[in-house]
């Protein structure tokens, strides 16, 4: 498996690929410094290999590099943020209660 994560802005998504095959995606929309993340999916035949975690990590890294805050509407991304609190600063403190995420200082 040669796994890569690629931003495909014309399709509004990041894709995770095994070689040339798209095996998952995270859809997004950027507006006024905010990246909205409504949906993430991984091909069910590829489940259990950590691909979702790798995909979300790459998406959040890209958001950070671009200086964007994120709105994690996707439940998988919210779970990732709970499991990786060091990334929670990507969600504006005022937005965290909307997503059931604790403030960073609690």
pLDDT tens track for 58-78: 999 999 999 999 999 999 999
- Domain 3-99 bears CATH identifier 3.40.630.30: yes
- Kindly report the pTM of this predicted structure: 0.93
**Per-residue pLDDT for the chain (106 aa), expressed as one digit of tens each?**
799 999 999 999 999 999 999 999 999 999 999 999 999 999 999 989 999 999 999 999 999 999 999 999 999 999 999 999 999 999 999 999 999 997 655 4
Map out the domains of the chain as residue ranges.
Answer: 3-99
Query: Quick one: pLDDT at residue 28?
Result: 98
Three-state SS for 23-81 is: EEEEEEEEECCEEEEEEEEECHHHCCCCHHHHHHHHHHHHHHHCCCEEEECCHHHHHHH
């Amino acid at each position: 498996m040669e796994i890569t994560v690629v931003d495909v802005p014309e399709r509004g998504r990041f894709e995770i690929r095994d070689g040339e095959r798209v095996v998952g995606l995270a859809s997004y929309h950027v507006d006024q410094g905010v990246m909205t993340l409504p949906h993430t999916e991984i091909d069910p035949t590829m489940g259990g290999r950590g691909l979702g975690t790798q995909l979300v990590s790459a998406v959040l890294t890209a958001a950070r590099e671009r200086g964007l805050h994120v709105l994690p509407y996707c439940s998988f991304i919210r779970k990732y943020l709970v499991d990786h609190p060091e990334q929670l600063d990507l969600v504006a403190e005022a937005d965290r209660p909307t997503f059931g995420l604790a403030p960073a200082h609690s």
